[in-house]
Amino acid sequence: MTKIKLRGMDLLKDSLLNKGTAFSEQERNLFNLGGFLPPGIEDQEVQVSRARMQLSHMPNDLAKYIYLANLQSQNETIFYRLLMSDPVRYLPIVYDPTVGEACTKFGHIYRASRGLYISIKDKGKVKDILSKWPRKDVRFIVVTDGERILGLGDLGVNGMGIPIGKLALYTAVAGVPPEAQLPIFLDVGTNREKYLNDPLYMGLRHPRVDHKEYIELMDEFVDAVQVVFPKCCIQFEDFANYNAIPLLAKYRDKVCMFNDDIQGTASVTVAGFYAAQKYTGMKISDHKILFLGAGSAARGIADLLCYAMEEEGLSTQEAREHCWMFDTKGLVVEGRKRLEEFKKPYAHKHKGSDSFLDCVKKLKPTAIVGVSTCPNLFTKEVLEAMAEFNERPLILPLSNPTSQEECTAEEAYRYSKGTALYAAGVLFDPVNLGDKTYYPAQANNLWIFPAVGMAIYATEAKFVTDKMFLIAAQTLAQQLNAEEFNKGTLLPSTSRILEIALEISVSVAKVIFDDGLARVERPDYDSHILQFIEKRMYHPFYKDYL
């Protein structure tokens, strides 16, 4: 039984406690709800059916996103029960690809506040703002400054849609309790004139602050979280490259935190390489990888790939020689002028080139990974070249939303003559070519961060390590079943994401216990870790208040 103090409209306004028309007669009398609700008493299935019907009447995915946001603000139990009833159908609405459009229009579709907004004007008061949050046992904060939202760039305060959406996936995919979550936006301004001139833009109307002020706010924020929410893990999300990589390096060994764009993206990508071995027989250390894009995502993927190669026996330097990068200035090579520090580990001795196709033909990679946020750069010629010298080329256009993908699934299969092993950041429909159907996979972070998060939540982990993400990648790849393998898909179907997330959570929790990073007692036997995780998972059912 759950004891609650709220009564009347205050109870109906609490989205975590509200049952709506499912409040029983006894509950209505006890909590002074008489007159506030229609007299008929309904069960959850009726409520979910009504929500499903109303959602089906929405004219487009953005309208469905708005509807679900309203539902979440009114009744989180029904919101999550709906999402978990059909992840394939509903997750693309609350997150990729719809969340990209929702963010660009955030100020225009805004209905109600969710989470906390901390601006540069709040320096010196961050702890006080965090302390205002009504729930005191926050375990996960997803925070962004809105500078690099998906592949859409600087959206300013409109980027708040990302922390909100990410946290919804923590619950819907892996069962992290929603009451333990807090989305936060750090508003330091925006450099996008479009939003500075938009009368409905809700953020600070000035350019982004200088680096010193920015770091002072970030340090204050991270320190304040440790005081106000001492068991909290901070997920950094959609920060610009020049901030994301240094911030991860600065905080990762001091507090419980990770950067999903760097580590989560790396994990799901490495899972694709492990799964590809089932088709090619190639170990990760057998691959030569060419990245299109050399930002934080590319660096994170390359680092985790090298970690995996080191596990297979290579030295760090030998592993790095398997990874090449191509950015807006061309091939990343030694001696290039104004080469950013974080790219230098993957700058090799080689003649420079400003043609990606030329690099593909000369380097002959076994895999190309798109993290450029620029659409259509895996051209017909690039894909044909990959198929010329690879029996099963690995094609991974990971940029999202859909408008930013380096190539579509249909293009990859058509121009490789059906030989491509393909996964994209968003989910494409099956592709029919001739008499054969191809099944593209989705290599999206949603496979990783919710499950890793559930393990962190259950174990109260002190820190987050790359080893956790490598184990998550290996576990995900192992979930590819015989039916999916026979279809030629690279990763499992998202229809199984809930069961697979549990497997990943268990594997990661074992690592946390093995490495002495847990703040709770380990179960007596490893076989009990599954039950340990399940006991702490959220399930979308109403609690007994009597």
DSSP string, 181-245: EEEEEEE-----HHHHT-TT--S--SPPPPHHHHHHHHHHHHHHHHHH-TTPEEEE-S--HHHHH
Coil, strand or helix: which one is 417? coil
251 is catalytic: no
Count of CB atoms situated within 10 Å of the CB of 393:
24
Give CA–CA dist 521/144, Å, rounded.
Answer: 33
> What is the distance between the alpha carbons of residues 292 and 305, in angstroms, rounded to a whole number?
16
Q: What are phi and psi of 536, to 5 degrees?
A: -100, 0
Return d(Cα 302, Cα 312) in angstroms, integer.
Answer: 15
Q: Which residues contact 366 (CB under 8 A, 6 or more apart)?
A: 282, 286, 287, 288, 289, 390, 393, 394
Angstrom distance (rounded) from CA 240 to CA 244 = 6
CA angle 176–217–454, rounded 5-degree value: 10
80, 95, 346, 457: which is the annotated catalytic residue? 95
CA-to-CA dists, residue 134 to 96, 116, 181, 270, 490, angstroms: 29, 11, 11, 39, 43
Kindly tell me the sign of the dihedral angle through the C-alpha atoms of 506, 512, 515, 521.
Answer: negative
What whole-number distance in Å separates Cα of residue 330 and Cα of residue 226? 42
Q: Is 438 a catalytic residue?
A: no
* Run of H or E residues at 487: helix 482-487
Q: CA-to-CA distance for 449 and 457, rounded, in angstroms?
A: 12
The residue annotated as part of the active site, out of 166, 195, 413, 538, is 166
The number of beta carbons lying within 10 Å of the beta carbon of residue 107 is 18
**Dihedral angle sign, alpha carbons of residues 99, 104, 107, 109:** negative
The whole-angstrom separation of Cα 178 and Cα 261 is 22
Long-range contacts of 84-92 (CB under 8 A, 24+ apart): 84/172, 84/498, 84/540, 85/48, 87/172, 87/173, 87/494, 87/495, 87/497, 87/498, 88/427, 88/493, 88/494, 88/495, 90/172, 91/169, 91/172, 91/173, 91/446, 91/494, 91/497, 92/61, 92/426, 92/427
**CB atoms inside a 10 Å sphere around CB 151:** 21
Query: Would you give the DSSP letter of residue 428?
Result: P
Q: Where are the alpha helices (DSSP H) in 75-210?
A: 76-85, 87-94, 98-104, 106-109, 126-131, 161-174, 193-196
Put the strands of the sheet holding 116-119 in their side by side order. Answer: 116-119, 181-187, 140-144, 233-236, 257-259
Specify whether the CB–CB gap between 269 and 396 falls below 8 A.
yes
Catalytic residues: 95, 166
